[in-house]
Amino acid sequence: MWCAVRLDDWFLAAGERGNTSTAIDRRRGEVSWTEGNHADVLIDGAEYYASLYVALRSAGPGDSVFVCGVEGDADELLSGPGTEVAEMLAALADTGADVRGLVWRSHGLVYSEQKNLMFSRAVNQGGGEVLLDNRIRRGGSHHQKMVVVHYQGRPSENVAFVGGIDLVHGRSDDARHRGDPQTAALDADHYGDRPGWHDVQVAVRGPAVDDVALTFRERWSDPTPLDTRSPWRWLMHRVSRDPVQRSPLAAERDDVAAQGPHAVQVLRTYPARRQAYPFAPDGERSIARAYIKVFGRARSLIYLEDQYLWSFAAAEMLADALRREPQLLLVIVVPRYVDPAGRIMGAASTLGRQQVQDMLYAAGGDRVAIYDLEREDATAVYVHSKACIVDDVWMSIGSDNLNRRSWTHDSELSCAIVDSTRDEREPRDPSGLGDGARKLARDTRLRLTCEHTGGVLDADAMVDAHDWFRALRESAEALDAWHRAERAGPRPSGHLRAHQIERVHARRHGLLRWVHAHLLDPDGRPPALRRGDQF
């Protein structure tokens, strides 16, 4: 079935996950992934919300819905007026569906604690059970974003959504990047009053749904108190009708029959904590380990979309791959402006990006291209997606950014996917390792390329990695030249601009390196791994 590709060359074996306390591997012996799945890549929030709306509309009494997120806006519309997400979830609970949720009890100075409170309260009033969860490492967050829908008696329709998109304002954008009418709170000077937002989610059907659901179940069943140590926190739980004791979940559903050609490995990050997670007592770093493994196998291309690009640990592995493979091409799409902003945190972010980009260009020269996005009115588009494609074989979509925080410190969730369907377009084996090119990974790369270049280029003309790399560069150069000419004449199509490296004066580097290492990109590994710089 797999046409010469060995899945254990691309996926982590059970022993490579580094966490023997989770059931995600034990129930399959030495196989740490599932085959027979069908994965749909949903580009931008409008496409995801439309798909989620259909999934929730199809649910009813006896079905179950699991939700995890960093934040939630109760009134976020999934498909126009009358589709407020919290009302839809509450209505499902009221009709007899089992609706559960874990939303981060966020730090008030960083995120809106009140919006999560209102989201949970709105769902709980209908009979759901959405909890505010702060079982994190100090300074961290619950960053997993998922929705799982199980249909009683219809297991072939079960679906899990995983990626970078929360159920909040600002995410419902499309390929034009004109922004969600329910606007996000972003820097208006840089991103406008209605910010454009680029993101990616994946909808998975098949046996992997139960692996995503298990991730929810493990967190839900953790007996550690959610966060009720102070009178204020206790009051918050009461106001949101958030029970301190979680009611038990129903037994897991039966295994689902094969639904499609995709193998899926569910990857996670959990930090090592003093109050250990029972399902990851030393944490879990399978996302980091998966990247390390595939970067070590990369030969032809690595395509990344990343919100930050300021982690030295991740960049060193990319630089090693570029030095090892003289034909390897690296393309990265990032936001134009650093996040978080500010005199200290923003400068630390800028320094991190400066040093990472210098490292990558030094290793790969003109085989490295870093871009940001803008819409037709020349306003920058915020890039929030977390996606990676390697050699048109392996791809990953999740909540994790390519940094030490996401690899060790915050809770994260990602799906790595390998398609059994060969892509017969040349080059048929871009890596030269006999793995071939795989249809889903290649099609996703080309779909993203077509969106970023404005849809005017022929996707079939960009199948070859060098043709693709050249097309991206030419698209960005045309738009850059139009700006240099003070926007004279018609605007070239597309959203791509060559990303310019901002630089921080050397006299500030010492303090900013400390801020970067301890506040922006902290280390959540156990001491032994930290000392050996192992994941």
**pLDDT tens digits for 262-280?**
999 999 999 999 999 999 9
Which residues, at least 6 apart from 343, have a Cβ–Cβ distance to it below 8 Å?
none
Cα(321)–Cα(293) distance, rounded to whole angstroms?
Answer: 11
Of the pLDDT bands very low, low, confident and very high (cuts 50, 70, 90), residue 2 is very low
Dihedral angle, C-alpha 464, 197, 501, 287, nearest 10 °: -70
Whole-model pTM: value is 0.95
Cα(51)–Cα(450) distance, rounded to whole angstroms?
Answer: 21
Q: What is the pLDDT of residue 251?
A: 83
Q: What is the pLDDT of residue 112?
A: 60
pLDDT tens, 46-88? Answer: 999 999 999 999 999 999 999 999 999 999 999 999 999 999 9
Neighbours of 449 (CB within 10 A): 21
Q: What is the pLDDT of residue 109?
A: 46
Lowest mean pLDDT among 289-303, 310-324, 382-396: 310-324
Enclosing H/E stretch for 200: strand 200-205
Q: pLDDT at residue 185 above 90?
A: no
Nearest to 185 by CA among 195, 175, 176: 195
Q: What is the pLDDT of residue 254?
A: 66
Q: pLDDT at residue 422 above 60?
A: yes
Burial of 531 (0-12, 13-18, 19+ CB in 10 A): exposed
Burial of 249 (0-12, 13-18, 19+ CB in 10 A): middle
Does 116 or 59 have the greater pLDDT score?
Answer: 59
pLDDT tens, 387-406? Answer: 999 999 999 999 999 999 99
6 token code pair: 């060995």
Does 114 or 155 have the greater pLDDT score?
Answer: 155
Contact 198, 42 (CB under 8 A): no
Pairing of strands 146-150, 64-69: antiparallel
Query: Please, what is the average pLDDT of the chain?
Result: 92
**Beta strand residue intervals within 212-340, DSSP E:** 262-270, 284-285, 301-305, 329-333
Q: What is the pLDDT of residue 107?
A: 61
Of the pLDDT bands very low, low, confident and very high (cuts 50, 70, 90), residue 229 is low
Q: What's the helix, strand, coil split of the chain in %, to 5?
A: 35, 20, 45
pLDDT tens, 519-533? Answer: 999 999 999 999 999
430 token code pair: 């871009």
Enclosing H/E stretch for 150: strand 146-150
Average pLDDT over residues 156-174: 96
Does 121 or 233 have the greater pLDDT score?
Answer: 121
Cα(38)–Cα(207) distance, rounded to whole angstroms?
Answer: 9
344 token code pair: 């200290």
Does 291 or 250 have the greater pLDDT score?
Answer: 291
Q: What is the pLDDT of residue 242?
A: 59
pLDDT tens, 321-355? Answer: 999 999 999 999 999 998 878 889 999 999 999 99
Q: What is the pLDDT of residue 1?
A: 46
Lowest mean pLDDT among 113-117, 153-157, 246-250: 113-117
Could you tell me the sign of the dihedral formed by the alpha carbons of 216, 220, 224, 226, in that order? Answer: positive
- pLDDT above 70: percentage of residues in the chain: 94
- What letter represents residue 190's amino acid? H
Q: What is the pLDDT of residue 27?
A: 75
Cα(307)–Cα(339) distance, rounded to whole angstroms?
Answer: 8
Of the pLDDT bands very low, low, confident and very high (cuts 50, 70, 90), residue 282 is very high
Average pLDDT over residues 461-471: 96
Of the pLDDT bands very low, low, confident and very high (cuts 50, 70, 90), residue 367 is very high
Lowest mean pLDDT among 41-50, 82-91, 292-301, 449-458: 449-458
Distances (CA, A) of 396 to 299, 302, 414, 427: 17, 12, 7, 22
Contact 105, 111 (CB under 8 A): no
